Structure 1
């Protein structure tokens, strides 16, 4: 029964459904829900820092229902994306247009990219493929090579594009992280192929495959729905990407690993990621907010991630912290003070 709690992620598609079938201010329901209702609920509800014991962890680790919930997000995401293309084609009212694009964009971030991230860490190739398809719906497939082989290796160091520096503006970070992670993804794939005596221009270069997939997706939307709808899709995908980068920003803001006497960075510890045990955000994002344990063991399934006392804690859940990051003076005042306390 514990696994069924994570069905809460489908509350997001429910709000998108209402957005697509309504008009006026209600088309912004997804935005209101994710960045209004969820942060408010997290603020008032008691945090949940409880971990499974060893016996429970083994049981829940092997419970296939947790993975089934992840798999179910794929047809849901694809269905809503296709529906979006049809509904946005017939949307003429500016308010409805913005509301529905924002709804699809948030779903791209919460469902497409976040679940794609979880499945992308799995060792099973089929699960990785499902993750790649989910990331494709937000045009963010390069995330996987960089995140797994770059971010997890360089996290909390100046070499990591996805680690926000102290006093770095979110809006600068958006551009730096996205561009540099894309470049690094190509470098990682080129290096991987070079070690097996293959050239970068090889069918096993994932970045080439991803690029072709992006071109096919955008070309198909253009062919069947036209230029305007393709631009609306690009706007929704951009919202999803900005949500990802905002999460990246808050997850490691200002945290740095120390170097030893040999000039090497210390091993990644539970102190190198910001965490949150706020209930609603934790369930909707599949325990993403227990981020320290995720970095300590990237292949660990979301349901058994632990909350540890040495992990630095955010004052509220991820959605609330994302809102605060949009206002740099408030963010710096709050988080720089917490950095001093670590």
Structure 2
């Protein structure tokens, strides 16, 4: 298969960034006639994603061609990032128990279930502050951000869930602690893969999941890079405004990421579903789409040159 296994990566980080340089962004309003139809699309993707993950696990250990092997791992990593985590982000903000279950199931498949706690109860409360692991500081390279965000988000999720147990006067390490459950479930998945498919397949699975996690964290990096809210008291910040997120109205990136690029509106009302998100008039706009900015972030001096002059 060779080079064809890189099709998804090349399309997402080759074709789309080039097209978004020549196709003008569109701030057109989303006016969905039925959110339910868009939700059905998400539901349909879930079994497709898990089918592809199972297929990957079955065949990847038999691959002997290095070029094809790396291609398949990165392709699965793309699926982890776009569907396993990004789609989980969309579903995880909804009130439906089914949607929240599917969100956690998707994150479990990517070994990143703590994101469900940290993102909803941590990031949305602390965004654009130095207390938020997922807000990139000015002049912080994406490589340093990856390390800090992955580490501190995990620690934060434990603290948030432990504090919830303490407020209920209950023991911290108990089954009702979601972080305890998440760690058991994720470990169980690793053990099952190891026992049934072997060490090599497990290593390839972890590599793909790690690639997906880095994709998510790369999106986090550009979404709030260098943006900070003013502190109005010792323990409070100004409310989150449109100027505290970086947005992009470039169509292809919008569709690929389920309108995540209309990020200001998402932080204004996280219960809005992706087809309801709009381009906010005062929102900060990136010079190109999210995929192109993710590539640019891999060259820190150039990224800083482009972005630092745009900081308010």
The TM tier, using the shorter chain, reads over 0.9
Q: Structure 1 residues 174 and 262, CA, compared in 2 at 3 Å: closer, same or farther?
A: closer
> 2:14 aligned to 13, 16, 36, which one?
36
Aligned to 2:301: 329
- Aligned pair count? 312
Superposition map of 1:47-196 within 5 A: 47-52=25-30, 56=31, 59-60=33-34, 63-196=35-168
> 2:175 aligned to 203, 206, 210, which one?
203
State the alpha-carbon separation in 1 of the partners of residues 170 and 150 from structure 2.
27
State the alpha-carbon separation in 2 of the partners of residues 220 and 270 from structure 1.
45
User: Aligned-pair distance for 1:26?
Assistant: 1.5
User: Aligned-pair distance for 1:28?
Assistant: 1.1
User: Aligned-pair distance for 1:337?
Assistant: 1.0
State the alpha-carbon separation in 2 of the partners of residues 330 and 124 from structure 1.
43
Is 1:268 matched up with 2:240? Answer: yes
SS at the partner of 1:119?
A: helix
Q: Structure 1 residues 233 and 262, CA, compared in 2 at 3 Å: closer, same or farther?
A: closer
SS at the partner of 1:165?
A: coil
Aligned to 2:24: 46
Deviations 1:86-134 (A, max 9, x none): 1211100110110100100011001110000111111111110100111
User: Aligned-pair distance for 1:216?
Assistant: 1.0
Aligned to 1:7: none
Bigger mean CA offset, 150-159 vs 72-81? 72-81
Aligned to 2:4: 26
User: Aligned-pair distance for 1:46?
Assistant: 2.3
User: Aligned-pair distance for 1:263?
Assistant: 5.4
State the alpha-carbon separation in 2 of the partners of residues 235 and 33 from structure 1.
21
Q: Which runs of 5+ in 1 are unaligned?
A: 1-22
Is 1:244 matched up with 2:232? Answer: no
TM-score w.r.t. the length of structure 1 is 0.89
Bigger mean CA offset, 208-217 vs 190-199? 190-199
User: Aligned-pair distance for 1:197?
Assistant: 2.0
State the alpha-carbon separation in 2 of the partners of residues 161 and 145 from structure 1.
13
Q: Which runs of 5+ in 2 are unaligned?
A: none
State the alpha-carbon separation in 2 of the partners of residues 261 and 156 from structure 1.
16
Runs of 4+ in 1 over 3 A off after TM superposition: none
Deviations 1:301-333 (A, max 9, x none): 111111012100001111000000000011000
Is 1:223 matched up with 2:195? Answer: yes
User: Aligned-pair distance for 1:284?
Assistant: 1.2
Is 1:298 matched up with 2:276? Answer: no
